[in-house]
Structure 1
Amino acid sequence: MQDRNQRRGSGREHVGEENDLAAVTQRAIDVFFLSKQDNGEMGGIGYWQTANGYTAVALHDKWSSSTNNARILQTLLQKVERHHPFFINEFNDDTLWWAHCLLELFYLTHDPMYVQKAIVVWHHVSESVIRRGQHTVKGMDMQGGVFWSTRPNEDNINSITTGLYSELSARLAIICSATLGQNLSPVPSGAEFRQAAETSLRWIVRCRYREHDAVVLDTIKLRSHELVDWTFTYTTGQLIASAAALFTLTRETWYLDLAKKLALASMKRPGWVEQDGTLTESGAYGKGNHEAWKNDDAVGFKSVLVRSLAKLCTVLQATKLEPELQRAVCAFVRRAFDSLQERDTNGKGQYGPWWAGPMDLPTSHSQLAILDVMAAMRLIGTG
């Protein structure tokens, strides 16, 4: 996967050979799994990146109405948990990515064990949630914000960790409102999960949401009161996912309106999306400011945005709402997929890191980044 000498052309000549969506997307997954290690993680990428890759694979199966990859995911997660009990490490965002992966495995296997483990994660991270009146920065109450890690003297409160916690809380509330919730014990009430979800989402909107251009900012440093206003795709994407989950839970239109505004802005934001409509977020991880062989957390940020837009699309499909937004999301996903097929593959199921091309070289991290596009394509289909 990481041979720097594997440099190919655009891959355009191979599109006709793999015109079946199921084959194309599954082949990308199979290539990704070639990098699996004995500890259950993927070689060449980090712990949280592995969780995101597995989540994308699980979503691919979920949105394909299949369980083709469920068994290998179950085996890999068993291996990972031997080294990280309940998938917990010192970074709350890492741990929360794994919790969302656990919930997708639950939906594939219907095994409540995965929900129970996600609840353990929820309890663990809840210890890092700021209470009302506990901290104030620049006149803003930090209630609902989640510390980045459990390290002593941690002072970073960031939107990605808080968004992940909000969405996890909402998803657990949804599960507890269903029949399954009656079989989970001990478990907080659905109302407790809902309150946690709403309180953390409000922190993002109150403290890290720039309304005029509908973008989510990154971090607040508690001790210095510094506002770190980075605008990465995944912070905005994660708020979309949290708002969509809360709309599903509550049917309050404010959450849907928020998700819609964020989604529409994200699909045309300069610096994230090229003039032809291809999502690249080149400033975070793009050709010219990164070496293709070098892994970086930012390589998968845009993938999270694609996933979140697809999650929103599932909500809209289920409720038959916002048909124009549904069409916009589908077109956006298709544009990313088509660009990958035309400009960023060697035709062997391997993909490079530059979604708008040219194909450079395949690595574990470049393969990871495209998996959410593959999953989203299985959701929307090709007609």
Structure 2
Amino acid sequence: MTYGPHQINTPVVALALCGYAAAQDFGVPLSWRKFSNTRPLNERISIAQAAIDAILPQLNTATAEFNGIGFWQSGNVCEWLSFSSAVTWLKYDTPKFNDDAMWWATAAVYAHRAYGDPAMLSHAVDTWNHVSTFAITPAQASAGRHPAKSFTLAGTCDGKSMAGGVFWRPTADDQGVNSVTTGLYLTLSAFLAEITGDQKYTNAAIQSANWMRSLNINSKNLALDTVNAHDCSRSPDSWIFTYNSGKLIEGLSVLSHVTGDNQWDTLMGNVLIASTKGAPWQGSNGVITEGSSPNSNNDGVGFKSVLIRGLHEAFERSPNNALRILVHSYVDVQYNALLDLAANGSTYSSSWAGPPQGFTTWGQLAALDVMTSAINAN
């Protein structure tokens, strides 16, 4: 295997960590397109700031949403904007989807982490309390009933407990439990456990991580999409999306740090390797092709930025040098593709393989996590 040219200095890795890392292949594929860059830090910061500046005119301050993209995507923008000191507000609604609520709650966690704002932490806690009423507890799984749902609950699917899964929609008749909602809940729980030290958040994160590991990761270590909580039917195997694995990577990296339990670090590494090497959303050159939609917005456009953010969180937290080199290289593949193939000045097409086009809010949204991640990952 061959790694990228930039050696990243990290703390000495414990023997146990070295043992698991040796069994995982973090090597960088030589077929990847331009997996390093020599742009200095000040240039990378300038490029990212210009990309942020280009999307800010689309902000509707009355609604805290951005023109041209949807509710959850606006929450996704706010997540990374909290790092730039550009967000001094946060919108909260009672949305139709539990994942929508948690995109905004995660933005609040990021804002609290950046600025120590207690109002942001309070918002995140309130959202966690609300969404927790739609998480399946061990007792509910055993009883085959959930108080918020009108149907009989399948307590086990494929012989594994449904405890830890989180319903996508709060309506009484909706039966779907999916990866993005459960992954967001895992991530939010782990962040709150880290911030507050309250064991209830740690326990919730562990239950959701176990649900993902037991029921919704395929044999290639990629997150699947949806399990029906009534009859255990599944979404098609082809429903493999970047954001499901990306949010799982983020949550597991935080959970591993909170608990000090290497099983979560190992699982995170397996999902991270699968998500960056040989995943269905890219070709042999490593450039992500999912969500390439120059003419209209769709949810898929926002998915891939969630993967990049999850990889960035893992990069920031992991003492594993090989993992960090892999993430650095993968981020640079996307970064160089955007700058070389998809850039129109400081705006970017949602098709990272190009060609360039005029500004779209969704294309800019998709590029922002790459631009900001490249600052730290080099």
Instruction: Give the TM interval when normalised to the shorter protein.
Output: 0.7 to 0.9
Q: State the identity %.
A: 32
Structure 2 Cα separation of the partners of residues 225 and 267 of structure 1: 29
Q: Deviations over 1:277-329 (max 9, x none)?
A: 22223xxx23xxx5x2211001011111110000000111xxxx211111111
The equivalent of 2:361 in structure 1 is 364
| Superposed counterparts of 1:1-383, under 5 Å | 20-37=43-60, 38-58=62-82, 61=83, 69-70=84-85, 72-75=86-89, 77=90, 80-81=91-92, 84=93, 88-132=94-138, 133=142, 134=144, 135-136=153-154, 137-177=157-197, 190-210=198-218, 212-228=219-235, 229=237, 230-281=239-290, 285-286=291-292, 290=293, 292-316=294-318, 321-347=319-345, 349-381=346-378
SS of equivalent to 1:157: strand
**Contact 2:278/2:284 (8 A) holds in 1:** no
Residue 152 of structure 1: CA displacement? 2.5
**Contact 1:353/1:362 (8 A) holds in 2:** no
Runs of 4 or more above 4 Å deviation = none
**Contact 2:179/2:225 (8 A) holds in 1:** yes
Q: Deviations over 1:121-150 (max 9, x none)?
A: 000000001122233234432111100011
Larger relative contact order (CA 8 Å, sep ≥ 6):
1
Structure 1 Cα separation of the partners of residues 119 and 64 of structure 2: 19
Residue 224 of structure 1: CA displacement? 4.4
**Contact 1:354/1:360 (8 A) holds in 2:** no
Residue 207 of structure 1: CA displacement? 0.8
Structure 2 Cα separation of the partners of residues 43 and 252 of structure 1: 42
**Contact 2:111/2:120 (8 A) holds in 1:** yes
**Aligned residue-pair number:** 323
| 1:304/1:368 CA distance change after superposition, 3 Å | same
SS of equivalent to 2:69: coil
Structure 2 Cα separation of the partners of residues 109 and 45 of structure 1: 27
The equivalent of 1:3 in structure 2 is none
Structure 2 Cα separation of the partners of residues 331 and 359 of structure 1: 23
Q: Deviations over 1:72-131 (max 9, x none)?
A: 4114x2xx34xx2xxx31210000111110011112221111111100000000000112
Residue 274 of structure 1: CA displacement? 2.3
Letter in 1 for 2:56: F
SS of equivalent to 2:227: strand
Structure 1 Cα separation of the partners of residues 158 and 222 of structure 2: 20
Structure 2 Cα separation of the partners of residues 51 and 103 of structure 1: 12
Structure 2 Cα separation of the partners of residues 98 and 375 of structure 1: 19
More helix by percentage: 1
Structure 2 Cα separation of the partners of residues 167 and 270 of structure 1: 22
Please, what TM-score do these two structures have when normalized by structure 2?
Answer: 0.82
CA RMSD of aligned residues (A): 1.8
SS of equivalent to 2:177: strand
**Contact 2:187/2:251 (8 A) holds in 1:** yes
Structure 2 Cα separation of the partners of residues 166 and 108 of structure 1: 20
Structure 2 Cα separation of the partners of residues 324 and 138 of structure 1: 35
Residue 276 of structure 1: CA displacement? 1.8
Please, what TM-score do these two structures have when normalized by structure 1?
Answer: 0.81
Structure 2 Cα separation of the partners of residues 254 and 224 of structure 1: 30
**Contact 1:159/1:218 (8 A) holds in 2:** yes
**Contact 1:57/1:375 (8 A) holds in 2:** no
Structure 2 Cα separation of the partners of residues 263 and 243 of structure 1: 10
SS of equivalent to 1:227: coil
Structure 2 Cα separation of the partners of residues 156 and 168 of structure 1: 20
Letter in 1 for 2:186: S
Residue 167 of structure 1: CA displacement? 1.1
Letter in 1 for 2:67: G
Structure 2 Cα separation of the partners of residues 249 and 30 of structure 1: 35
